[in-house]
Amino acid sequence: MKLLITENQRNLILELKYSNDDLLKIAGQYKTINDFRTGNLSKFSLALKRGLMNDVRELYGLEPYDYKFDHRREKDGNYKKKGPQTSEFSNLTDEQLKQEALKFKTTQEFWEQNPELYSYIYQYRNHLWNEISKHLIKLSRPQSKSGKYIVLTDIQVRRQALQYKNKQDFRDAHSGLYQHIIKYRKDLWKEIEKNFNPLGNRVSRMVYAYEFPNHKVAYIGLTDNEDRRHREHTTDESRSRRLSSVYLFMQKNNVRPVKKVISSGYIDWEDAAILEKKTMLQYEKSGWKLLNIREGGGLGATRQFSDKQIIDIAKQYNDRDEFRTKNPSKYSSALKRGLMNSIRYIYGEPSYEYSTPEPNQMSLVELLKDNK
């Protein structure tokens, strides 16, 4: 039975689980206050909520600090606005800003021709933006608020993308730029895509073999990404905790394998599964010893992870931002599956009402387990 817990229940659990002395002992395990924050964010946040931060600072030989107000607040308790407090638009009235904005026909035209005014209204006069946007033809914004990718020329984008052999590696390394190109520079993306090595997909696979002729040993497999799978077989790179049997054999015997592509490129997955099993039988009949752990005929490595596996992957990172930037594919899977509040709990963050339902919350017992 799976239990959903509220923020108050979570806080109560932490209150019962850790005393003030426990928190100070945990803080004492770190060399600096920053190490404490990055290494154990949930306990750091709990110490902050309990008013223990000056005791923690004393452990590190730091001067006391007034934590009465949040560092973003003025003395009256009101939050400061982020960003510059003065700009060329700050003295203009709402009506004047509105007249300037309505010179444009679409939101995209507004952004491209006057991004400074667009950003100012969007961030600091949001009430006015809601009114203005009703009169503009609503097109998708060309990219994120920061203008991070729109300033790049096509040459810069192409050079960045073509550092990678296939589009999957490019997407994993630069997910934001990848999304920007396929949405807003479609012609450029078609040109770039032609230079990538082809990949299989959910319905196509390539069958291959790694041979060690002097030892009469081989490995037969199939994949949807030849380059990535080659790295996993010949280095210590792995998407799981288990290293490739090919790599382990290489290390043990100090030899390099001979790689052979059995299929004619990427073929239908059903044909690939049959060909893999047939190839394994042929090698065995010829007296080869196979390194394969599993029988042939499966789809090979897939991208399907259980909810618990995704939670375990999230625990490898210090905070949610690091999880999102370093493993965007699993972060996206967690978001789609409704696991985000379970992950926020791991990092000591309050729960949040996401737009998608969360039917797959990890159970309370599973979350508390190994989360010390």
Q: How confident is the model at residue 365 (pLDDT cuts 50, 70, 90)?
A: very low
Distance from chain centroid for Cα 220:
31
Pairing of strands 217-223, 289-290: parallel
pLDDT, one tens digit per residue, over 84-109 is 445 677 788 888 888 888 888 877 77
pLDDT, one tens digit per residue, over 162-204 is 888 877 788 878 888 888 888 888 888 888 888 877 655 556 8
Token output for 4: 């959903």
Is the pLDDT reported for residue 370 higher than 50? no
Q: What is the pLDDT of residue 262?
A: 92
Is the pLDDT reported for residue 293 higher than 70? yes
pLDDT, one tens digit per residue, over 70-81 is 444 444 444 444
Token output for 163: 């550092």
Region 278-302: mean pLDDT is 77
Angle at 195 between CA 191 and CA 196, to 5 degrees: 115
Is the pLDDT reported for residue 290 higher than 60? yes
As a whole number of angstroms, the distance between CA 331 and CA 9 comes to 25
pLDDT, one tens digit per residue, over 310-326 is 888 888 888 888 888 88
Region 114-129: mean pLDDT is 79
Is the pLDDT reported for residue 212 higher than 70? yes
SS3 content of the chain, % helix, strand, coil (to 5): 50, 10, 45
Token output for 19: 């005393």
Q: Answer whether 73's CB lies under 8 Å from 93's CB.
A: no
Mean pLDDT over each residue of the chain, to the nearest integer: 76
When comparing pLDDT for 126 and 362, which is higher?
126
Domain boundaries, the chain: 154-193, 204-290, 307-368
Crossing angle of helices 245-253 and 226-234, in 10° steps, is 40
Q: What is the pLDDT of residue 283?
A: 93
Q: How confident is the model at residue 279 (pLDDT cuts 50, 70, 90)?
A: very high
Q: What is the pLDDT of residue 260?
A: 93
Is the pLDDT reported for residue 210 higher than 90? yes
Is the pLDDT reported for residue 364 higher than 80? no
pLDDT, one tens digit per residue, over 28-68 is 888 888 788 778 887 887 788 777 888 888 888 877 766 65
Q: What is the pLDDT of residue 281?
A: 92
Q: What is the pLDDT of residue 285?
A: 92
